[in-house]
């Protein structure tokens, strides 16, 4: 089994990179990527443990790209995570997150919710504080009941306390990964556009600047959605990818080892990443 979209405590997951590799192995995975948000800080630990336990580990990252509508997340795979230019770009993205977090904190306080950064950061991993950690702090306060409510009321794009941050353009994200020897697939495509006809046109534009695949197999997609995305991928000549988007505690309904795909899909993905 294969999973090319997971998160650890290096961003907003609840398992350390080592524990994540072990959990993937126990779930029956034999190929697994760690794709933390905008950083590669957990990859050395993850890859070392994966090699030790006989799991084929893949260096990965999930990048948020700047778009005019919707949300575009791009998963980079198989790149040199020590590439100096790439590491510099990651630091710039993390700096943008830090600045945004301060703006969001001020927005909460201006709306009568006296969150502190220490309160939010206690839910974070190694260094990166994300909106998921704000959500966990709100849940602990009893202000919302779950992650979905936190994003709908406070943290999602356009919500009361949402504030934007620095992002690279889609073409810049793709080029950064390509220049470091990797490939890029699109994560959870419906986050960009729900209308499938419009989505196909937008994905075609991404393919023109180097996109090679798209997540058709995703934890929250039903069979009908998966089939529609597989047909779209075929029309666009993109490789269908597989990603659980596992986070652990922050997303308790998403599990490792639940997305079964054909040997052909797995073989195509492995050829893309390892050759």
Instruction: Compute the CA torsion angle 174, 179, 182, 183 (nearest 10 deg).
Output: 30
Give how many domains the chain has, as a whole number: 2
> Are residue 115 and residue 42 in the same domain, yes or no?
no
Exposure class string for 114-129: b at 16+ Cβ within 10 A, else e: ebebebbeebbbeebb
CA distances from 241 to 40, 119, 152, 218, 226 (A): 20, 37, 28, 9, 11
Statement to judge: residues 142 and 179 lie in one domain? no
Interatomic CA distance for residues 121 and 117, integer angstroms: 6
pLDDT score, position 29: 97
Express each pLDDT in 104-116 by its tens digit. Answer: 999 999 999 999 9
Residue range 173-214, pLDDT digits in tens = 999 999 999 999 999 999 999 999 999 999 999 999 999 999
CATH number of domain containing 261: 3.20.20.140
Intra-chain end-to-end CA distance of the chain, in Å:
19
Do 50 and 110 reside in the same domain of the chain?
no
Confidence band for 97, pLDDT divided at 50, 70 and 90: confident
For residues 68 and 99, membership in a common domain is answered with no
Segment 53-80, tens digit of pLDDT: 999 999 999 999 999 999 999 999 999 9
Whether 20 maps to a domain, the answer reads yes
Total residues belonging to the chain: 275
- Tens digits of residue pLDDT in 229-263: 999 999 999 999 999 999 999 899 999 999 999 99
The secondary structure of the chain in percent helix, strand, coil, rounded to multiples of 5, reads: 45, 15, 40
Domain termination residue (choose one: 103, 120, 155):
155
Mean pLDDT rounded to a whole number for the chain: 94
The pLDDT of residue 224 is above 70: yes
What is the C-alpha separation between 141 and 115, in angstroms, rounded?
A: 9
Q: Is residue 216 part of a domain?
A: yes
Q: What is the pLDDT of residue 144?
A: 95
The pLDDT value recorded for residue 58 is 98
Residue 46 in domain: yes
Same domain, 237 and 132: no
CA dihedral 221, 227, 233, 239 (to 10 degrees): 70
Q: Please list the residues that pair with 77 across neighbouring strands.
A: 60, 183
Domain range for 139 is 91-155
Do residues 266 and 177 share a domain? yes
């Amino acid at each position: 089994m294969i999973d090319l979209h997971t998160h650890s405590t290096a961003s907003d997951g609840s398992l350390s990179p080592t524990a994540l590799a072990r959990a993937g192995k126990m779930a029956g995975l034999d190929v697994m990527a760690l794709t933390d948000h905008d950083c590669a800080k957990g990859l050395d630990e993850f890859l070392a443990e994966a090699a030790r336990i006989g799991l084929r580990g893949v260096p990965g990252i999930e990048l948020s790209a700047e778009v005019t509508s919707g949300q575009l997340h791009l998963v980079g795979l198989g790149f040199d995570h020590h590439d100096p230019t790439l590491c510099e770009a990651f630091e710039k993205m993390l700096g943008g997150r830090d600045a945004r977090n301060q703006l969001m904190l001020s927005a909460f306080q201006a709306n009568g919710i006296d969150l502190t950064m220490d309160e939010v950061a206690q839910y974070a991993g190694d260094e990166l504080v994300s909106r998921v950690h704000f959500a966990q702090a709100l849940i602990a306060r009893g202000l919302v009941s779950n992650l979905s409510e936190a994003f709908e009321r406070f943290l999602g794009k356009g919500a009361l306390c949402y504030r934007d941050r620095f992002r690279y353009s889609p073409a810049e994200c793709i080029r950064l990964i390509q220049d470091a020897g990797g490939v890029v697939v699109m994560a959870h495509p419906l986050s960009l556009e729900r209308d499938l006809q419009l989505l196909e046109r937008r994905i075609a534009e991404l393919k023109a600047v180097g996109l090679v695949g798209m997540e058709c197999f995703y934890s929250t997609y039903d069979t009908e959605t998966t089939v529609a995305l597989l047909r779209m991928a075929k029309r666009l000549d993109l490789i269908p990818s597989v990603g659980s988007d596992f986070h652990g505690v922050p997303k308790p309904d998403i599990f490792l080892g639940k997305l079964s795909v054909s040997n052909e899909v797995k073989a195509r993905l492995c050829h893309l990443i390892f050759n």
